Amino acid sequence: KFSNQSVGLIYSRCHSVIPPPRDNDEKEMLDRMLRVDHAGEYGANRIYAGQMAILRRSQTGPLIQEMWNQEKKHLERFNEILAENRVRPTALLPLWNIAGFVLGASTALLGKEGAMACTVAVEESITEHYNSQIRTLMEKDPERYTEFLQVIKEFRDDEMEHHDTGLEHDAESIPGYWLLKTAIQLGCKVAISVSQRI
């Protein structure tokens, strides 16, 4: 006999924020979403790691660390969700490992403003990406995806905050801001599109 408490425990341990897929199409859609979200959070962690490698001891260090800590929580959550649903991460993680770190470190070498410009560019891209997922899930079946939507919305709000933090800390004052931002966002678009599939 199970007590109510242990039934609750078993339920919460088996139950993911993702509903058990009804068919192949849904399974594929959700797998793609989880894979790219996980890749994004992984890449974000590597970017902040790169920024910290350069700016750890600067005045901006604690601010970057704070944002990185939130990215660690995002990544941990997606690690769990992928495992629970037996979704394999993108095969490109080793690439995002290096590319993220190099992007973070090289923009940080331009100074605090460079790091913040990078943050604005990346976080704006991730925010837009999460918003488009939210739109898709709302159009499909908001009831069915309530819990997943909750997770994405919470993370989206964090990413928006990171974006605003970047702007508040002089991202736009770096020479060539527009070009830098545009180039980084182009890279994000490519990364998002390939991480869904590969």
Q: Please, what is the Cα angle at 22 between 139 and 9, to 5 degrees?
A: 100
143 labelled ligand-binding:
no
- 89-115 burial string, b = 16+ CB within 10 Å, else e? bbebeebbeebbbebbbebbebbbbbb
CB of 158 to Fe ion, least distance (A): 6
How do the residues of the chain divide into helix, strand and coil, expressed in percent and rounded to 5? 80, 0, 20
Q: What 8-state DSSP symbol labels residue 172?
A: G
Residue 84 labeled ligand binder: no
State the minimum distance, in angstroms, from the CB of residue 44 to Fe ion: 5
Q: What are the residues binding Fe ion (CB under 5 A)?
A: 41, 44, 71, 74, 123, 159, 162
Helix axes 24-55 and 93-109, enclosed angle (nearest 10): 30
Shortest Å, Cβ 71 to Fe ion: 5
d(CA 152, CA 144): 14
Q: How far is the CB of 11 from Fe ion (least distance, A)?
A: 28
Q: Which of 71, 69, 86 is nearest to 35 (CA)?
A: 86
What one-character DSSP code corresponds to residue 90?
A: P
Q: Which is nearer to Fe ion, 22 or 73 (CB)?
A: 73
d(CA 30, CA 6): 29
Pick the closer one to Fe ion by CB: 130 or 177: 130
For Fe ion, give the closer residue by CB, 69 or 182: 69
Is 162 known as a binding-site position?
A: yes
Q: Which is closer to Fe ion, CB of 28 or CB of 164?
A: 164
The answer to whether 41 is a known ligand-binding residue is yes
* In the complex, least distance from residue 45 CB atom to Fe ion, rounded to whole angstroms: 8
| Residue facing Fe ion at closest CB distance | 74
Q: Which is nearer to Fe ion, 87 or 151 (CB)?
A: 151
Instruction: Tell me the binding residues.
Output: 41, 71, 74, 123, 159, 162
Instruction: Tell me the binding residues for Fe cation.
Output: 41, 71, 74, 123, 159, 162
